[in-house]
Amino acid sequence: MTVVNRQIQLASRPQGEPSADNFKLVEATLPALAEGQVLVRNHYLSLDPYMRGRMNEGKSYAQPQPLNEVMIGGTVGEVVESKNAHFAVGDKVVGMGGWQEYQLVDASQRGVLQKVDTTHIPLSAYLGAVGMPGVTGWYGLVKIINPKAGETVVVSAASGAVGGAVGQLAKVRGARAVGIAGGADKCRYVVEELGFDACIDYKEHKDVKSLSAALKAACPNGIDGYFENVGGMILDAVMLRANAFSRIAMCGMISGYNGEPIPMTAPQLILVNRMKIEGFIVSEHMEVWPEALKELGTLVATGKLKYRESVAEGIAAAPEAFLGLLKGKNFGKQLVKLI
C-alpha cells in the first residue's frame, strides 16, 4: 500500500525564544517494507520540555536535534503492516517515532518498539503517567529524594505530567506533598484532583521573599525533599526553607531554556544544610524502568494515580502546542492526537 507520511522537521535553530518559523511540515511517500520491518500508524505524539534543549546546537546531555530531520519525540500507535515475527498487525506499541504520522522501523533492533496492553491503561497514558514522564517523577522521588513518612516534599510544575506523578507518589509513601504551579486553576487541580496537601501559585509572588513566606506557611516543618523542574527564583525560595539533610532532585530548569542565566542567590545553604543535590537523566537508568512502570501502571489501572491531558489535534498543530507548553499553557501532559 502507498502511504504518504506527514512530519514536522526542525527547519532552523532558535535564537532565544523559539517560534513556529523554526519548524516545517514535510510530506513524503514511504517505501515498501523490507524483511524485519514494521509500519506503525502513530496515534499520539508526546511534547516534552526537554525537546527545547535539543533544538540548540550547544553541548548538553544529549545530541542536538539535526536540522531538516523529523523532530525527536515519544509516540504510541498501532502496527498496520509487519514483516517481523515479533509484531502483528493490530499490536499497540510505544516508541520514539518523532513528530510524524507514521514510522517505519527495523523492529529487530532491541527496544525500538515496546508492545503495550491497553486493557486497563489508555494508550495515551504510555506517553505520560505510565511512560517517560511518570518514570522521571518516580526516579527523582524514589531514588534521590527517598522520602520517609511524615516528611515534606515540594514539587515545582506540580500540575504537569512529571510533577503531578511526583506528588501522588510521595503521598503513597506517607509524605506531605506541596506543589508549586502557575495560576489558581492549576493549584486547585493539584490539591482537589491530585490530592496534594497544598499548592502555591507562583504567579502571586513577585520576589523570593514573598514566595519563601508562602512556602513557610505551606511547609511549617520545613522542606525535606524538592523535585526541581524550573530553577531561578523558585529554587532560591525553596533553599531558604530547606531542612538539614534535605534532598533535591534536579530534573529540569525551564526558566533557562532560552539561554537566560540562572544564578543561585544563596549556594552556601547547600553546605549549611548539608544538602544533597543530584541531577539525573531518566534514560540513563533503564534498569529501574520495569519497577517504576509496574507501580505506575498498577496505580493508573486502579484509579489511584490521576492525570490530565492537553490534546492538540493533527500533526500541523504540533509546533504551536509545543510553544504553548514552554509557556505553561498546557494543563497536564501535552499530547498531539494524530488519528
The model's pLDDT over 159-181, given as tens digits with 9 standing for 90+, comes to: 999 999 999 999 999 999 999 99
238 pLDDT exceeds 90?
yes
For the stretch 67-77, pLDDT in tens is 999 999 999 99
CA distance 189 to 38: 40
Which uninterrupted H or E stretch holds 81?
A: strand 75-82
**Cα dist from 18 to 60, 73, 332, whole Å:** 18, 17, 21
**Cα dist from 101 to 4, 47, 260, whole Å:** 9, 14, 34
The residue to which cell 507548553 is assigned: 325
Nearest to 160 by CA among 182, 145, 144, 138: 182
59 pLDDT exceeds 80?
no
Least confident of 103-107, 140-144, 274-278: 103-107
267 pLDDT exceeds 90?
yes
pLDDT of residue 90: 98
Q: Which domains does the chain have, with CATH numbers?
A: 4-128+308-337 (3.90.180.10), 132-283 (3.40.50.720)
**Model confidence at 13, in pLDDT bands (50, 70, 90)?**
very high
pLDDT of residue 62: 75
CA distance 138 to 297: 12
Residue 148 main-chain phi, psi, to 5 deg: -95, 155
For the stretch 228-237, pLDDT in tens is 999 999 999 9
pLDDT of residue 257: 76
The three grid cell numbers given for residue 334, joined into one nine-digit string: 501535552
As a whole number, the mean pLDDT across the chain is 95
pTM here?
A: 0.93
**Model confidence at 34, in pLDDT bands (50, 70, 90)?**
very high
Residue 277 main-chain phi, psi, to 5 deg: -125, 120
26 pLDDT exceeds 90?
yes
CA distance 103 to 7: 10
Q: What is the mean pLDDT of residues 13-33?
A: 95
For the stretch 184-219, pLDDT in tens is 999 999 999 999 999 999 999 999 999 999 999 999
